[in-house]
């Protein structure tokens, strides 16, 4: 039985703590913020609707094992996420599918005609293959016009970088569909925790061998009294940024309570080309909560604030490698485990964080 310190009570920290407590270890969690849950933290408002304080989170996974794990701690509301994108003064289904193409070009296509149509668009475009960056990865699938309408400006706004500087891996998050499937994700299991993500995390931490200390930021050396540290904070912070600073992007969330039943026709509407915000979320679509009011959130990408995203460009990927070599040495010495989006510097989804926690905890 080990005494283990977990730095950070986000999804990575909560999952690891729970799994390790169930293995018989003694867990202490240090969390800098005054709440648990990290960036999946949510709060019910006076309107009766739950805001996700750090932006929209939809749980989705292909893996039954992961779904079974989360549903031990929460009931899930079945929810299939749909996103609309506002471009050229109209709302379109996003990711791009047959309907998006037909609506934008004012044409009729059958599913089996879509690939040939896109091929024509792609033929007119300039790009390098294999695609080494975000721009080429998208343009090589849909051509320059669709890229311009839906991706170019959203990506520049979100990352404050030219899309050709970003890794093609980011483009891999967004499919292009020849059919009429209008869902954002096609994973077998999708949902929103019925009582919210915070309640889900509370249940995960509700174990006699887990002690949680909020408003207690991890400091170097805190692990001295423990056998092992699970670190889920910023990778560069752990090493006092001695190799240089990794970029993490943040978001300024502008929450509004509106005296209307419904603001927009979907949970999320993206605004690639207009305004300074990237998207608006209307939470009641996701949570299924009823109210005469509604809660919305506008997202303004920012370099300052709580880290939300890793920035996958060449510079950061090279820096990540240098930090990872140091991290590996500590992991091999069985002193520290680096876990989660911030500590591994990976653009993980929630289910990937859980999968990773299951994997590393099984080795302890
Ligand atoms: N993206 C885009 N246009 C959109 C939506 C996404 O160009 O309408 C690009 C953008 O670079 C974004 C990336 O695809 O950062 C990943 O999108 P995703 O929806 O996965 O972002 P998240 O929900 O993680 O913010």
Q: Report the distance separating Cα 358 and Cα 364, nearest Å.
A: 10
Q: Is 15 exposed, middle or buried (0-12, 13-18, 19+ CB in 10 A)?
A: buried
pLDDT tens for 279-329 read 999 999 999 999 999 999 999 999 999 999 999 999 999 999 999 999 999
Nearest Cα residue to atom 3 of ligand 1: 151
Which DSSP symbol is given to 279?
Answer: E
Predicted local confidence at residue 10, as pLDDT: 98
Is there a cis peptide before residue 60, judged by omega within 30 degrees of 0?
A: no
Decide: 154 in ligand 1 pocket, CB within 6 A: yes
- Ligand 1 mutation pick, 163, 173, 270, max ligand atoms within 8 A of CB: 173
Which atom of ligand 1 is nearest to 155's Cα?
A: 11
Residue with CA at minimum distance from ligand 1 atom 10: 155
Give the residue-averaged pLDDT of 235-264.
Answer: 98
CA of 34 to the centre of ligand 1 (A): 29
pLDDT class for 260, splitting at 50, 70, 90?
very high
Prediction pTM value: 0.97
- Distance, CA of 281 to CA of 250 (rounded, Å): 17
For the record, the structure tokens of 309 come out as 């995203």
Question: What are the helix (H) ranges across 151-260?
Answer: 153-159, 168-171, 197-205, 235-238
pLDDT tens column, 187-233: 999 999 999 999 999 999 999 999 999 999 999 999 999 999 999 99
Q: Provide mean pLDDT across the span 140-154.
A: 98
DSSP-based three-state secondary structure for 316 = helix
Cα-Cα-Cα-Cα torsion 362, 318, 300, 139, nearest 10 degrees, comes to -100
pLDDT tens, 99-120? 999 999 999 999 999 999 999 9
Q: Is the CB of 167 under 6 A from ligand 1?
A: no
| Length, in residues, of the chain | 364
* Contact present, 306 and 39 (Cβ < 8 Å): yes
Residue 300 backbone dihedrals phi, psi, to 5 degrees: -105, 110
Q: Is 270 in the pocket of ligand 1 (CB under 6 A)?
A: yes
pLDDT at 120: 98
Is the CB of residue 17 less than 8 Å from the CB of residue 354? no
């Amino acid at each position: 039985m080990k005494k283990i310190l977990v730095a950070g009570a986000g999804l990575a920290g909560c999952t690891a703590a729970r799994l390790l407590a169930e293995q018989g270890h003694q867990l202490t969690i240090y969390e800098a913020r005054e709440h648990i849950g990290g960036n999946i933290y949510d709060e019910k408002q006076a309107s009766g609707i739950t805001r996700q304080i750090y932006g929209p989170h939809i749980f989705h996974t292909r893996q039954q094992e992961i779904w079974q794990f989360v549903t031990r701690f929460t009931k899930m509301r079945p929810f299939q996420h749909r996103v609309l994108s506002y471009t050229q003064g109209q709302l379109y289904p996003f990711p791009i599918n047959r309907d998006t193409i037909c609506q934008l070009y004012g044409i009729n296509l059958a599913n089996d005609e879509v690939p040939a149509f896109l091929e024509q668009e792609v033929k007119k475009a300039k790009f390098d293959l294999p695609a080494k960056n975000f721009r080429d990865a998208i343009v090589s699938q849909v051509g320059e016009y669709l890229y311009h309408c839906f991706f170019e400006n959203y990506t520049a706004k979100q990352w404050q970088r030219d899309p050709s500087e970003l890794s093609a891996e980011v483009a891999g998050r967004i499919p292009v569909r020849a059919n009429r499937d209008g869902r954002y994700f096609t994973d077998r299991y999708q949902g929103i925790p019925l009582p919210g993500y915070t309640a889900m995390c509370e249940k995960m931490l509700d174990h006699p061998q887990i002690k949680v200390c909020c408003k207690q930021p991890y400091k170097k050396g805190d692990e001295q009294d423990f056998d092992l540290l699970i670190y889920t904070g910023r990778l560069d912070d752990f090493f006092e940024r001695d190799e240089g600073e990794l970029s993490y992007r943040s978001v300024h969330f502008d929450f509004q309570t509106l005296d209307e039943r419904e603001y927009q026709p979907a949970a999320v509407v993206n605004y690639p080309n207009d305004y300074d915000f990237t998207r608006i979320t209307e939470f009641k679509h996701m949570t299924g909560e009823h109210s005469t009011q509604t809660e919305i959130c506008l997202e303004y990408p920012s370099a300052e604030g709580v880290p939300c995203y890793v920035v996958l460009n060449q510079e950061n990927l090279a820096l990540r490698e240098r930090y990872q070599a140091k991290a590996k040495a500590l992991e091999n010495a069985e002193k520290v485990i680096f876990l989660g989006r911030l500590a591994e510097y990976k653009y993980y989804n929630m289910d990937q964080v859980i999968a990773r926690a299951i994997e590393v905890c099984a080795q302890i």
